[in-house]
Homo-oligomer: A and B are copies of this chain.
Amino acid sequence: MGPLSSLAAGETRLDWDSLFAGRIARMKASEIRELLKLLDRPEVISFAGGIPDPALFPDAAFRDGLQAALSGADRGQALQYSLSEGYRPLREWIVGRMASLGIVCDVDNIMITSGSQQALDYLGKLLLSPGDTALTGWPTYLGALQAFNAYEANYDRLVPGDNRSASAFRDAAEAKGGRAKFIYVSADFANPSGETLDLSERQRILALADALDCAVIEDAAYQSLRYEGEEIAPLLALDIARCGSIEKARTIYCGSFSKTLAPGLRVGWVCAPKAVIGRLVLMKQASDLHSATLNQMAVDHVARTVFDAQISRIVATYGARRDAMLKALSAHMPQGVHWTRPAGGMFIWLTLPEAIDGAELLAQSLQREQVAFVPGRAFYPDAGRGNAIRLSFSCADEGPIAEGIARLGRSIRRAMDAATPAAWKTSEPCARSL
Interface residues of A (CB under 8 A from B): 1-7, 9-10, 12-17, 19-24, 27-30, 51-52, 54-55, 57, 59, 62-63, 66-67, 70-71, 75-82, 113-115, 117-118, 121, 125-129, 132, 143, 146-147, 149-151, 158-166, 181, 203-208, 210-211, 213-215, 242-244, 248, 250, 258, 262-266, 273, 275-276, 279, 282-283, 285-295
Contact = CB atoms under 8 A, between A and B. Distances in A.
A214 B4 CA distance: 14
A163 B4 CA distance: 10
Scoring A4, A23, A28, A293 by chain B CB atoms within 10 A of each residue's CB, the highest score goes to A4
Given A164-B2, A248-B13, A275-B16, A76 B57 contact: yes
A299 B77 CA distance: 17
Contacts of A147: 286-287
Contact of A290 (B78, B165, B266, B287): B266
A244 B115 CA distance: 40
Nearest to A49: B81
A126 B273 contact: no
Contacts of A63: 67, 70-71
Contacts of A266: 288-292
8 contacts: A1-B208, A20-B279, A66-B70, A81-B263, A115-B288, A117-B286, A117-B288, A146-B282
Scoring A13, A76, A78, A288 by chain B CB atoms within 10 A of each residue's CB, the highest score goes to A288
Given A5-B211, A162-B2, A21 B242 contact: no
Nearest to A178: B21
A59 B70 contact: yes
A211 B4 contact: yes
A134 to B, nearest CB: 12
Contacts of A7: 207, 210
A129 B57 CA distance: 42
A24 B123 CA distance: 11
A295 to B, nearest CB: 5
A22 B288 contact: no
A23 B78 CA distance: 33
A27 B280 CA distance: 10
Nearest to A265: B292
Nearest to A8: B242
A4 B214 CA distance: 14
Nearest to A166: B4
A12 B127 CA distance: 19
A62 B57 contact: no
A213 B19 CA distance: 9
A205 B2 CA distance: 10
A118 to B, nearest CB: 4
B1 A125 contact: no
A27 B67 CA distance: 37
A262 B80 contact: yes
B149 A265 contact: no
A210 B4 contact: yes
B242 A9 contact: yes
A3 B208 CA distance: 9
Nearest to A216: B14
A306 to B, nearest CB: 13
Given A24-B279, A54-B79, A250 B71 contact: no
A165 B1 CA distance: 6
A247 B329 CA distance: 50
Given A10-B243, A21-B181, 16 more contacts: A1-B161, A2-B165, A9-B244, A16-B276, A17-B275, A20-B279, A21-B126, A27-B282, A29-B282, A63-B71, A82-B264, A115-B288, A143-B285, A143-B289, A147-B287, A265-B294
